[in-house]
Every structure is written in structure tokens, then in C-alpha cells.
Amino acid sequence: MPTNAPSPIADVLAAANQVVLGKDVQIRLALSCLLARGHLLIEDLPGVGKTTLAHTLARLLGLQFSRIQFTSDMLPADIIGVSIFNREKTEFKFLPGPLFSQVVLADEINRATPKTQSALLEAMEERQVTTEGETRPLPDPFFVIATQNPSHQIGTFPLPESQLDRFLLRIELGYPDHHAERALLEGGGRRDQLPALAACFTPEQLAPLQQQAAAIHVSSALLDYVQALIEATRSSQNFIHGLSPRAALSLLAAARAWAFVDGRKNVLPEDVQAVLPGVACHRLRLASSGNHARLEDITALIHATPLN
């Protein structure tokens, strides 16, 4: 998939494709999510490369990275940080937790209890943390990549709707295709390459790029199309309820970032179609089973909405 993107973005895409094989679309979506200042949820089986993808992006963007492995006995303080009494200075000193990082990989988020989950998700939304009456801003940029195992696995606390809404995009990685898997097997563990990856970005470069992505032109014809899609989710019999206005805003922001990653100056219907599964799947529930919508459901929705 070629791109006309500005050079640092093209470099990131190229380098990431060297590490995470055969996942071009997912890499792009993850990068778009970051550029749209959203948080990313990766849902898949263990061992398909979720952590590798997160780690690769953090390194390539030159961002500070920390990883939190969620377990069922974890408390909010474990991720936010605690204040410890300093005897010598007779005062409390705040020791920031792993959340105070530019890229946070929240592994297996659905293994944590709802209390800890909500502490993380509130921090994602507010981009600041309040403990013991003091508000502390989180670093900027602040990008959470959360992974979760499919919720039918044992020992999970599924995230409630309202919390899922905090993630701009949800992607699935899936098994690698034949060629990629062979290359993987021949080349050994890809994680070994990680320390050798050179950053393509400085943290200062990211903010202007995010601003440019948010300024991508959206014509009224495209807004017509976005509204038609949103309307279709609401009137469809397949879903329990339709997409919210916030979801519509997320869709537009993601489509802008996608167009920007593709190197274009305006959003096309193709961009909306490309990000719609990522935006809609975790926000829509099927009326038939109560499960989240799948890619096929969203594709059917797109095909049923004519483009004028």
C-alpha cells in the first residue's frame, strides 16, 4: 500500500513493516489513532504480536514507553503511583506510577478489576491524574495502547460500553498470512530487533503533525456521507443502538488522520470506509447475539449505504 505521506510518517510506516510483518493496515490504523490523539484498543489472542506492535510504534516515534501488565489483584495505586513519607524531609513525596509515560501499553486490560480499569480509563479521558487532593498532568503526548483477550476467555472482566467509548479505534491483528509467518519463522523472534530500531521522530515533531491531521479538509459532501452512515447504524435492525454523536466525531477525526497518513489534503469516502470498522465495531452490539459487531457487519452496512 503506497503512501504520499510526509517523510517522518512514511519512514515510520516503512520501519514498522519491517518488524511487524504483513500488518500494514493495522499499523496505519494505529498510527492514525495516535495522530488523531486517540487511544487504541487491540483485541486478539495472545501471541499474535500486539505488544510488539505497541513497542515498535513507541520506539519509532521516539517516545517514552512503559508497560503495565494487568492482573486481577491490581489496585489503582499500582498504575497511578503512591505518596511515600520521607523521614528526612518529613514530607510526603509522590512516586509516579507507570501511567506517567508518553506511550503506555496496558496489557490484558480486561484481566483487571473494574476499579482499576476505570482508574486507567479516567486518566485516558482527562489526561491528568488526581490523588490525595492533588492534580498531576500526564505527559504530552499521552497515548494508551490497551490489549485485551477475547472476552470469552476465562478470568476476564469485560469493559463496559462507556469505557470502550474512550478508545478511538479498536483493531484486531489476526494470524499472519502464509508469507509473513514463513518470514517470521525464518528470521527468528522479531522482538530482538526492537532495541536496534532508531527513532524516526522527536517528541516535538509529533504535535504539529497532529495539528495538521486535525486540519485536513472535510467537504460538505463528505459530511453528508458520514451522516448517512451514522444514520444507517441507528436505523439498522442489526444493532441494538446506533452510533453516538461522539462516535461520529471520532469517525471524522480518525478519517482525517487516515487521509493524512495517506498523504492527501482532504478526506474521501474511502478514508471513512477504512476507519469505520475500527471506530464502530467496539461501539455497536448485534441485536441477534448481544456481542460486538464484527467486520462483516460493518462491511455490509457500508455496502448498503450508497455514495452520492
Residues that bind another protein in the complex, under the rule CB under 8 A: 217, 219, 221-222, 265-270, 273, 302-308
Nearest residue (CB) to another protein, 51 versus 233: 233
86: which 3 cell numbers?
520521607
Nearest residue (CB) to another protein, 200 versus 248: 248
The rounded Cα 208 to chain-centroid distance in angstroms is 20
Q: Taking the complex as a whole, how short is the minimal distance between the CB of residue 267 and another protein, in angstroms? A: 7
Task: Tally Cβ neighbours within 10 Å of residue 44.
Answer: 18
Nearest residue (CB) to another protein, 73 versus 224: 224
* Nearest residue to 11 via CA among 198, 217, 235, 290: 198
Nearest residue (CB) to another protein, 182 versus 234: 234
Nearest residue (CB) to another protein, 105 versus 272: 272
Task: Tally Cβ neighbours within 10 Å of residue 58.
Answer: 25
Q: Taking the complex as a whole, how short is the minimal distance between the CB of residue 222 and another protein, in angstroms? A: 5
Q: Taking the complex as a whole, how short is the minimal distance between the CB of residue 129 and another protein, in angstroms? A: 41
Q: Taking the complex as a whole, how short is the minimal distance between the CB of residue 273 and another protein, in angstroms? A: 7
152: which 3 cell numbers?
470469552
- What span, in angstroms and rounded, lies between the C-alpha atoms of 97 and 290? 36
Nearest residue (CB) to another protein, 180 versus 302: 302
Q: Taking the complex as a whole, how short is the minimal distance between the CB of residue 249 and another protein, in angstroms? A: 19
Q: Taking the complex as a whole, how short is the minimal distance between the CB of residue 160 and another protein, in angstroms? A: 32
